[in-house]
Amino acid sequence: MWASPVCGVTLVNQTEDLSDYDAAIAEKVVAALAGKLGKSPQSIRLDDDLLRDLGIDSMSMAEMTVLVEQVAGVRIPGNELLDAQTVGDLVRLLTRCSHRSAPPESAAR
């Protein structure tokens, strides 16, 4: 068993590539979840199941949609958030959405 820290969150037996996680987004999401759930950020792991481990049901997920969009500064299209089963899924989704909404590099010049 090994652990890999990502923005203060420890992943145990992490097998997936961490390059699809934006550390800043992960930190914001974990902090937002911790605040909403009354937990410490250190107690929330990217492999935590949103329903089973954190108790976020479909009603809570609607509230969480607004919260995570605000903290990450990203709009999540349609019902994509419903596909997120873990905290890591949520961070990956927000990372992808932030990359989609970022202006092209040539336009920023």
> CATH number of the domain that 23 lies in?
1.10.1200.10
Flag whether 18 is in a domain: yes
25, HSE (Cβ side, Cα atoms, 13 Å) = 24
Q: Which domain holds residue 58?
A: 3-101
Give the global pTM.
0.73
Each of the 109 residues of the chain gets a pLDDT tens digit; together they read 333 334 344 443 344 455 677 888 899 989 999 998 999 999 999 999 999 999 998 788 878 888 888 888 888 877 787 788 999 998 998 888 887 765 545 444 4
pLDDT for the residue 81 = 78
Flag whether 14 is in a domain: yes
100: Cβ–Cβ under 8 A, 6 or more apart, which residues?
A: none
Flag whether 54 is in a domain: yes
Flag whether 57 is in a domain: yes
Counting the structural domains of the chain, the total is: 1
- Which two tokens mark 100? 């989609």
Flag whether 87 is in a domain: yes
